[in-house]
Amino acid sequence: MRLALAAALGLLSTGALAADPPADTWKAKGREIFQHAIEIPTVEGRGQVPALAQWLADQYKAAGWAEADIHVISYEGNPGNQTAGLVVRWPAARPSGKKPILLMAHMDVVEAKPADWSMDPFKFVEKDGYFYGRGTSDIKQGVTAVTTALLRLRASGFKPTRDIVVLFTGDEETSGKGAQLGATEWRKWTDAEFALNSDGGGGGVGKDGRWLGFALQTAEKTYSMYSFTVRNPGGHSSKPRPDNAIYQLAHALERLEKYRFTPQLNETTRAYFGVREKSEKGPLGDAMRRWLANPGDGAAADIIEADPGEVGLTRTRCVATRLEGGHADNALPQLARATINCRIMPGTEPAAVRDELERVAADPGVVVERTDNQAMSLASPLRPDVVAAYTAAVHRRHPQAPIMPEMSTGASDARPFRVAGIPVYGVDGSWGVIPDDMRAHGRDERLPVQALYDDIDHWVDLLTALAGK
């Protein structure tokens, strides 16, 4: 997922980005892993995810993990796309009786065409204080930081008090089958008390050097698909009918465009806006304070929702994304159909949204159907131990940065695990300059050099706090 770092976050001034070359063994190891991961084009259809999974498995094996605790698992994502997942277990050296912690990332990336970039997207480049390459921010920095942190902890003699389990999937950007398998068939390996996801969290700093903060992702909206369909007898275009499938669909879409679902506050968004309102001035800040004081104040929620940085955070949102209709230039349309993509608030059943969309269409001639079977997304509770560990890890390097619980409007591998009853927390420690570094899935994707090294240290701190007591 990793749409940026978080739309409202920002970081250090650009002048602070120049980084010295790796000064110690673990920086060098992290850079080596990062470069190798970036230069394997793990795009759907290229068949390279299994190669990266095996190379990473070899890194764990060389560092002392037993072969019985390392599993490279081949599976089919989208039809015809053979990919792989990696599961690695570090058994507790001093068992406390607590269930394992699951560490999550995905190895696949979206396609990048050399013609669209100023450089080869699958050639690792370091220049001007940045690492460039597809996946540098989404999310091979997570694969690298988690792996390097574990290798470093093991080499240091760290003795975990609970099992630590790694799950790296191979198709998060496409089918998400690896996460579904991880939460079901692979549960014999991945069962955990909670999961820490590197495809969530992270921070940002404005170009003026003002820290906007770090996000702690505890919820995602449900991604679900619907259709509006109108059928009509049609006829010759020289004899227009009083009813027309395209016009009828267009009127329903106009009603959808104007419709707003009822605003909702949950534990995550209440905590998020509770932090945001402290620094937000003007009408937007006033609206946040009004809505927090009175969740029934729909007008205040509308003001928040209208802000580009807050879109989707106050309610379910549905939008038309595709159209089809008609069959000939000189014939009246017999079919008109729109595809509707909804991002639904956690805890709201997609079936209930279908019923609401039918009321929005307000026309019995418009057939509203749900076209997928995605399970309802759930929010993870704000666990005090995870919140404390994440806050401490962030503040060790960035003491002025506020911590904000976050509900993502996109989706990641976390959803199937939350549905299966395993809370998931997006807790990555990488960062970027906002908006300059918001390049995930885009041209010249990059990550500040120091952000990678900070992220490795961040994961060491997290795991020491959560698996070392």
pLDDT at 2: 55
Average pLDDT over residues 207-229: 93
pLDDT at 209: 86
Whether 295 is in a domain gets the answer no
pLDDT at 458: 98
Residues 109 and 158 in one domain: yes
Average pLDDT over residues 125-152: 98
Residues 406 and 350 in one domain: no
Residues 254 and 137 in one domain: no
Average pLDDT over residues 395-419: 94
Q: Which two tokens stand for residue 64?
A: 């002392």
Residues 82 and 131 in one domain: yes
Residues 44 and 150 in one domain: yes
Of 19, 1, 7, 145, whose CA–CA distance to 438 is shortest?
A: 7
Average pLDDT over residues 433-462: 96
The per-residue pLDDT for range 106-135, each reduced to its tens digit, is 999 999 999 999 999 999 999 999 999 999
Distance between CA 408 and CA 221 in Å, rounded? 6
Whether 280 is in a domain gets the answer no
Residue 320: other Cβ atoms inside 10 A:
17
Mean pLDDT of the chain: 94
Alpha carbon separation from 116 to 111, 434, 443 (Å, rounded): 11, 22, 7
Task: State the angle between helix axes of 49-62 and 25-38 in degrees (0 to 180), rounded to the nearest 10.
Answer: 160
pLDDT confidence of 16, banded at 50, 70, 90?
very low
Whether 351 is in a domain gets the answer yes
H/E element, 340:
strand 335-344
- What type of residue sits at position 456? I
**Which domain does 52 fall in, by range?**
14-220+377-467
Those residues whose C-beta lies under 8 Å from the C-beta of residue 420, and which sit 6 or more positions away, are: 183, 184, 187
The per-residue pLDDT for range 258-291, each reduced to its tens digit, is 999 999 999 999 999 999 999 899 999 999 999 9
Task: State the angle between helix axes of 25-38 and 140-155 in degrees (0 to 180), rounded to the nearest 10.
Answer: 150
Whether 459 is in a domain gets the answer yes
Residues 136 and 159 in one domain: yes
Domain count within the chain = 2
Whether 285 is in a domain gets the answer no
Q: Which two tokens stand for residue 65?
A: 């993990």
pLDDT confidence of 18, banded at 50, 70, 90?
very low
Q: Which of 326, 345, 370 is the last residue of a domain?
A: 370
The CB-based long-range contact list for 43-46 (8 Å cut-off, 24+ gap) reads 43/108, 43/109, 43/110, 43/111, 43/112, 44/77, 44/78, 44/81, 44/83, 44/108, 44/111, 44/171, 44/173, 44/174, 45/81
Average pLDDT over residues 162-172: 98
Residues 39 and 73 in one domain: yes
pLDDT confidence of 364, banded at 50, 70, 90?
very high
pLDDT at 5: 43
Residue 92 CB-density burial (10 A; 0-12 exposed, 13-18 middle, 19+ buried):
middle
Phi/psi region, residue 435 (left: phi>0; alpha: psi -120 to 50; beta: rest), is: alpha
Residue with tokens 């608030």: 345
The CB-based long-range contact list for 369-372 (8 Å cut-off, 24+ gap) reads 369/226, 369/227, 369/229, 370/224, 370/225, 370/226, 371/225, 371/226, 371/227, 371/339, 372/224, 372/225
Residues 199 and 248 in one domain: no
- DSSP assignment letter at 333: -
**pLDDT > 90 fraction of the chain, expressed in percent and rounded:** 91
Residue 205 has pLDDT above 80, yes or no: yes
Those residues whose C-beta lies under 8 Å from the C-beta of residue 364, and which sit 6 or more positions away, are: none
CATH of the domain at 231: 3.30.70.360
Phi/psi region, residue 167 (left: phi>0; alpha: psi -120 to 50; beta: rest), is: beta
pLDDT confidence of 360, banded at 50, 70, 90?
very high
Helix, strand, coil distribution of the chain in percent, nearest 5 = 35, 25, 40
pLDDT confidence of 23, banded at 50, 70, 90?
low
Total residue count of the chain as it appears in this document? 469
Residue with tokens 């990266």: 52
Distance between CA 159 and CA 93 in Å, rounded? 5
**pLDDT > 70 fraction of the chain, expressed in percent and rounded:** 95
**Strand 335-344's sheet: what is its strand order?**
317-325, 335-344, 222-231, 367-370
Whether 6 is in a domain gets the answer no
Residue 318 has pLDDT above 80, yes or no: yes
Q: Which of 370, 391, 415 is the last residue of a domain?
A: 370
pLDDT at 36: 98
Strands 235-236 and 331-332: antiparallel
Distance between CA 404 and CA 383 in Å, rounded? 14
Whether 5 is in a domain gets the answer no
Residues 360 and 420 in one domain: no
Residue 399: other Cβ atoms inside 10 A:
8
Residue with tokens 């109108």: 230
Residue 403 has pLDDT above 60, yes or no: yes
Distance between CA 107 and CA 73 in Å, rounded? 13
pLDDT at 309: 87
Are residues 445 and 310 in contact, defined by beta-carbon separation less than 8 angstroms? no
Residues 366 and 393 in one domain: no
Residues 246 and 227 in one domain: yes
Q: Which of 370, 395, 415 is the last residue of a domain?
A: 370
Residues 137 and 207 in one domain: yes
Whether 308 is in a domain gets the answer no
CATH of the domain at 70: 3.40.630.10
Distance between CA 210 and CA 16 in Å, rounded? 12
